């Protein structure tokens, strides 16, 4: 089992920045990939960014060039630096750990999920 705890959400004006953190505990060795996903009310869950333990990362098209995912493997923590935020970035952001050895943007492949942290961007 892997437990995930997100923090860092909040409210910000358009153009601002936020940094999310996700601390993993438990059997963290069982997952080589962690990611961030988001879901706005009435919309499907969307992949934001994922990062492999080797440091390679992938991003959803809507956040490329604005968001950066990083990790501290010693602390089992993943970060999401969000810059140039837009109102359409408003959503609940979830941290997730992959169920296998891959590292893709398909949320169905992620077995462990945090409770989520709300990000609200006002215009």
- For the chain, where are the E strands, in sequence order? 2-7, 10-13, 18-26, 33-39, 46-52, 57-59, 67-72, 77-82, 91-98, 110-113, 117-122
Percentage of residues of the chain with pLDDT beyond 90? 88
CA 40/CA 49 separation, integer angstroms: 16
Q: How confident is the model at residue 57 (pLDDT cuts 50, 70, 90)?
A: very high
Asked whether 80 and 67 are in contact (CB, 8 A), the reply is yes
**Confidence band of 102 (pLDDT split at 50, 70, 90):** confident
Calculate the average pLDDT of the chain: 94
Angle at 26 (CA atoms; ends 23, 52), nearest 5 degrees: 60
Rounded-to-integer distance, Cα 115 and Cα 55, Å: 24
Residues in the chain: 123
Residue 1's pLDDT band (cuts 50, 70, 90): confident
Note the Cα 19 to chain centre separation in Å. Answer: 10
Which pLDDT band holds residue 50 (cuts at 50, 70, 90)?
A: very high
The predicted-structure confidence for 78-87, as pLDDT tens digits, reads as follows 999 999 999 9
């Amino acid at each position: 089992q892997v437990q995930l705890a997100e923090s860092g959400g909040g409210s910000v004006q358009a153009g601002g920045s936020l940094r999310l953190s996700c601390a993993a505990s438990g059997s963290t060795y069982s997952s080589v990939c962690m990611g961030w996903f988001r879901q706005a009310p009435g919309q499907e869950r969307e992949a934001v960014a994922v990062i492999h333990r080797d440091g390679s990362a992938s991003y959803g098209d809507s956040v490329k060039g604005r968001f950066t995912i990083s990790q501290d493997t010693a602390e089992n923590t993943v970060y999401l630096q969000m810059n140039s935020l837009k109102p359409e970035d408003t959503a609940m952001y979830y941290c997730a750990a992959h169920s296998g050895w891959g590292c893709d943007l398909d949320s169905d492949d992620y077995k462990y999920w945090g409770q989520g942290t709300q990000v609200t961007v006002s215009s």
